[in-house]
């Protein structure tokens, strides 16, 4: 059964109004290269308003072959080109695509596989994603790994990110965190430079159980499919046995009749004819008996296999760990963790200091039993946040954070504090950082801001429109965004607005999509949805799935895209693939880091909460999340990156929600399968 917020009025009288559901599932270099051409824009403008919303959805499109001329006489057809674009653009350009059959991986493979075999890195990366997604079949991580490796070794950053994810999670390859971070480093562009890869670190004890569950479910699905096939084969075998037994009975009766005719016949020619018929019939009986015996053996083998697989499925089903018994997680906010090529991650600290404060968050859904840092108990606030001082010694010192919950599940994370002698060292403030960034070209900024209050079939929201309007205002006036704000949008309006802003973008631009409104989560598929105002309960026809939003992002040529969802979003990968700025960098390194981030593609999502309803109030005229987000934008001095906003928004939201007895934890991660390459979305405040 699908879940949604504000489904019971009695709840509204007790709790502040809740907004949507957030799902982050532990959810990639160059783009598909499908920039909307002026011809396409003209055609789109001409038929705008007369197309169906489904035509605005993304597809894998195979364009027709171009007719080319070589010299005066030779004319030939070029190879067909594969692109990711909308169904409408594919139709306009005379392309071929399969609509409404996204569950069949073969339809997508048909578009990309030929180019992949020819060595095209983009196509190889897409083929890997098709196998990793599964698309109606269990995910084939080993095959995905092979294709990602082919593309990654050609320097294709999208594949490098995906390959790093497989290494980090141990999917299709032996788990190796260092190899994963090295691939993330290569994708982000900091490999081989004097700036280190500082990663967002989150360690979940539950991740192992969740991955085991995922692998078990894949195996169960595979064996269930085998069982279905075996049952079908058994049915065919039983039917063949029945038919063969009937044929055998008829043949035996015919033998008896022939024997009688032989005994009663006296004419030599007739006797010889009957003997030949008898011999042929006897051979047929022997063949039918042999076939029956073989069918019986086959049926017995299939039955034994069926019983074995059924038993295996039963055993594996009992091994599944309940999803609501998640283990503890550790998230380190500060310091920035630099992943080194050997040994533990390292954090540089100034020589002469006595202590280093470690900040982060510990979450234990089943209840916390103990949390320590280097053997000393950690004090947590009501939101799970902690600030723990660790003494500094000359050289290197190991820091070990350990957590155990009430169910006995554990999580731990370790890194090294390394003292450095620096003649002149200063912390970076925003004003200084903005001066350093003066030589960096961040490109143009666009925003699509959506706020939905007035739902036709769901209870209305209170603050979504005001939240969106406030965000649109500050983005336009203080950060120079070209902003489009839409309120109370139906499905067609949202999809057409996404396609309209796509037409404005170039590969140097930035796009922020802000959505405030109801969200749904399908508890069977774990798919998340945004709900337009014309959405119907228990009918997903007008819902917009997060996978569709992600697919649309994959067709957009912008360098950086940030989705801010004060509602439902899913399909994100680990935060470990997020590059973070190390505040210990000097001016030259800071400038280089900003230049790398400016030229490296990013596709990230900042959400207002986890797998639970989120508050529609708590921030005055805004939601608790929107108020914290707006505060960060207003307080920004010069520039601020999206991850820094998350670090500041997250504890604020948790504290404010906890003050009224509610638990809400914002999340931040790259969006899987959209072209994230390890870059970062950076907000640059307008001068003057």
Residue 486, domain CATH: 3.40.50.1460
608 and 522 in one domain? yes
Q: Give tens-digit pLDDT for 666-675.
A: 889 999 899 9
Bigger pLDDT: 156 vs 230:
156
Residue 43 has a pLDDT of 44
Higher pLDDT, 244 or 603: 603
Do 442 and 511 lie in one domain? The reply is yes
Tell me, yes or no, whether 54 and 148 share the same domain.
Answer: no
Q: Are residues 597 and 542 in the same domain?
A: yes
Give one word for 372, left, alpha or beta, with left for phi > 0 and alpha for psi -120 to 50. Answer: beta
Q: Which residues 6+ apart lie within 8 Å of 683 measured at CB?
A: 479, 633, 636, 639, 640, 641, 642, 645
What does the pLDDT look like over 529-586, one tens digit per residue? Answer: 899 999 998 888 889 988 889 889 989 999 999 999 987 676 777 788 888 876 666 7
Alpha carbon 650 to its chain centroid, in Å, reads 21
Q: What is the pLDDT of residue 443?
A: 93
Selected residue with higher pLDDT from 575 and 684: 684
Please tell me whether residues 396 and 489 are part of one structural domain.
no
Same domain, 472 and 612: yes
Q: Say how far residue 285 (Cα) sits from the centre of its chain.
A: 61
Helix/strand/coil for 127: helix
**pLDDT class for 42, splitting at 50, 70, 90?**
very low
The reply to whether omega before 335 is within 30° of 0 (cis) is yes
pLDDT for 615 equals 67
Measure the CA–CA gap between 39 and 342, rounded to whole angstroms.
52
pLDDT of residue 75: 63
Tell me, yes or no, whether 207 lies in a domain: no
Confidence of residue 25 (pLDDT cuts 50, 70, 90): very low
State residue 564's pLDDT score.
96
**Which domain, by its residues, includes 237?**
214-319
Q: Are residues 405 and 454 in the same domain?
A: no
User: By CB neighbour count within 10 A (0-12 exposed, 13-18 middle, 19+ buried), where does 663 fall?
Assistant: middle
Per-residue confidence (pLDDT) for residue 20, from 0 to 100:
57
The answer on pLDDT for 49 being more than 60 is no
- In SS3 terms, 162-215 reads as HHHHHHHHCCCCCCCHHHHHHHHHHHHCCCCCCCCCEEEEEEECHHHHHHHHHH
Question: 444 vs 104, which has greater pLDDT?
Answer: 444
Would you call 531 helix, strand, or coil by DSSP?
coil
Q: 10 Å Cβ neighbour count for 255?
A: 16
pLDDT at 27 over 60: no
More confident residue, 160 or 213: 160
Please report whether residue 283 resides in a domain. yes
CATH number at residue 240: 1.20.120
Of 420, 441, 470, the last residue of a domain is 420
The answer to whether residues 21 and 65 belong to one domain is: no
Within this chain, do residues 22 and 39 fall inside the same structural domain, yes or no? no
15-24, 132-141, 444-453, 675-684: least confident range:
15-24
Instruction: State residue 34's pLDDT score.
Output: 35
Kindly state whether residue 197 falls inside one of the protein's structural domains.
Answer: no
Has residue 472 been placed in a domain?
A: yes
Q: Is the pLDDT of residue 10 over 50?
A: no
pLDDT at 22: 39
Does residue 167 lie within any of the structural domains?
no
Q: What was the pLDDT predicted at 502?
A: 92
Is the residue at 200 inside a domain? Answer: no
What CATH number has the domain bearing residue 337?
2.60.40.10
Q: What percent of the chain has pLDDT over 90?
A: 31
Count of the separate structural domains present in the chain: 5
How much is the pTM? 0.72
The whole-number pLDDT of residue 426 equals: 42
256 & 150 share domain: no
Mean pLDDT within 227-231: 81
The stretch 241-253 carries a mean pLDDT of 82
pLDDT for 468 equals 97
Check residues 527 and 23 and name the one with the higher pLDDT: 527
Q: Note the pLDDT tens digit of each residue in 572-630.
A: 777 888 888 766 667 777 888 888 898 999 999 999 886 566 767 666 789 999 999 99
- The reply to whether 463 and 603 lie within a common domain is yes
Select the more confidently predicted residue: 170 or 4: 170
Query: What is the overall mean pLDDT for the chain?
Result: 79
Write the CA distances from 404 to 203, 212, 681, integer angstroms: 13, 20, 35
Distance CA 52, CA 88 (A): 9
Asked whether residue 186 is assigned to any structural domain, the reply reads no
Listed residues 319, 353, 370: the one ending a domain: 319
Q: Same domain for 8 and 79?
A: no
> How confident is the model at residue 71, as a pLDDT?
63
* Between 492 and 302, residue with greater pLDDT: 492
- Boundary of a domain, candidates 279, 299, 319: 319
What confidence tens digit (pLDDT) does each residue in 52-98 have? Answer: 777 887 787 888 876 666 666 666 566 778 878 888 888 878 777 76
C-alpha 520: how far from its chain's center?
A: 17
Residue 343, domain member (yes or no): yes
At 223, the pLDDT band (50, 70, 90 cuts) reads confident
Rank 34-48, 88-102, 352-366 by mean pLDDT and report only the highest.
352-366
Rounded to 10 degrees, what is the CA torsion of 617, 622, 624, 627? -170
330 or 342, which is more confident: 330
- What mean pLDDT do residues 353-378 have? 90
First-to-last CA distance in the chain?
53
More confident site: 339 or 550: 550
């Amino acid at each position: 059964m699908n879940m949604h917020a504000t489904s019971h009025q009695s709840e509204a009288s007790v709790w502040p109004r809740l907004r949507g559901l957030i799902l982050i599932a532990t959810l990639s270099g160059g783009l598909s290269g499908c920039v909307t051409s002026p011809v396409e824009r003209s055609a789109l403008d001409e038929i705008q308003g007369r197309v169906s919303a489904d035509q605005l959805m993304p597809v894998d499109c195979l364009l027709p072959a171009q007719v080319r001329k070589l010299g005066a006489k030779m004319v030939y057809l070029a190879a067909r080109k594969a692109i990711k674009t909308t169904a409408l653009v594919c139709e306009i350009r005379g392309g071929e695509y399969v609509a409404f059959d996204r569950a069949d991986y073969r339809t997508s493979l048909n578009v990309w596989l030929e180019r992949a075999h020819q060595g095209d890195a983009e196509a190889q990366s897409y083929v890997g994603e098709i196998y990793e997604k599964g698309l109606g079949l269990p995910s084939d991580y080993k095959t995905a790994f092979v294709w990602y490796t082919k593309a990654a070794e050609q320097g294709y950053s999208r594949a490098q990110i995906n390959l790093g994810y497989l290494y980090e999670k141990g999917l299709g390859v032996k788990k190796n965190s260092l190899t994963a971070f090295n691939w993330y480093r290569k994708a982000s562009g900091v490999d081989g430079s004097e700036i280190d890869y500082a990663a967002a670190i989150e360690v979940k004890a539950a991740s192992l159980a969740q991955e085991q569950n995922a692998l078990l479910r894949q195996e169960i699905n595979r064996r269930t499919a085998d069982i279905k096939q075996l049952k079908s084969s058994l049915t065919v075998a039983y039917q063949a046995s029945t038919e063969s037994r009937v044929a055998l009975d008829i043949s035996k009766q015919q033998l008896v009749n022939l024997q009688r005719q032989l005994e009663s016949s006296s004419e030599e020619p007739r006797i010889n004819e009957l003997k030949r018929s008898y011999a042929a019939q006897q051979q047929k009986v022997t063949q039918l008996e042999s076939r029956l015996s073989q069918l019986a053996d086959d049926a017995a083998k299939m039955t034994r296999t069926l019983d074995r697989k059924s038993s295996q499925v039963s055993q594996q089903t009992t091994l599944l760990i309940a999803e609501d018994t998640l283990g503890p997680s550790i998230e380190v906010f500060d310091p920035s963790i630099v992943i080194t090529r050997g040994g533990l991650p390292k954090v540089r600290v100034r020589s002469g200091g006595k202590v280093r404060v470690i900040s982060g968050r510990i979450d234990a859904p089943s209840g916390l039993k103990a949390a320590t840092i280097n053997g000393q108990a950690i004090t947590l606030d009501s939101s799970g946040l902690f600030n723990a001082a660790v003494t500094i010694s000359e050289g290197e010192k190991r820091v070990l954070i350990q957590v155990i919950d009430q169910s006995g599940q554990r999580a731990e994370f370790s890194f090294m504090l390394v003292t450095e002698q620096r003649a002149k060292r200063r912390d970076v403030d925003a004003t200084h950082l903005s001066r350093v960034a003066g030589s960096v070209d961040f490109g143009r900024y666009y925003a699509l801001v959506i706020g939905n209050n007035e739902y036709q079939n769901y209870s209305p929201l209170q603050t979504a429109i005001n939240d969106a309007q406030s965000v649109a205002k500050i983005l336009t006036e203080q950060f120079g965004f070209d902003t489009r704000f839409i309120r109370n949008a139906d499905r067609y309006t949202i999809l057409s607005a996404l396609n309209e802003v796509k037409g404005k973008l170039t590969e140097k631009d930035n796009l922020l999509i802000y959505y405030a409104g109801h969200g749904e989560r399908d508890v069977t598929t774990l798919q998340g949805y945004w709900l337009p105002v014309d959405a119907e309960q228990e009918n997903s026809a007008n819902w917009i799935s997060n996978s569709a939003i992600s697919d649309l992002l994959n067709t957009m040529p912008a360098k950086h895209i940030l989705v801010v969802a004060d509602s439902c979003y899913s399909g994100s990968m680990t935060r470990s693939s997020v590059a973070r700025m190390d505040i210990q960098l000097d001016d030259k390194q800071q400038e280089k880091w900003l230049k790398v981030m400016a030229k490296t593609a990013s596709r990230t999502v900042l959400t207002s909460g986890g797998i639970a309803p989120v508050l529609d109030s708590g921030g005055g005229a805004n939601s608790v999340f929107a108020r914290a987000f707006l505060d960060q934008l207003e307080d920004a001095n010069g520039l601020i990156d999206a991850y820094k906003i998350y670090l500041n928004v997250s504890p604020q939201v948790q504290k404010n929600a906890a003050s009224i007895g509610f638990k809400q934890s914002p999340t931040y991660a790259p969006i899987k399968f959209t072209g994230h390459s390890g870059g970062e979305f950076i907000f640059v405040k307008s001068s003057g």
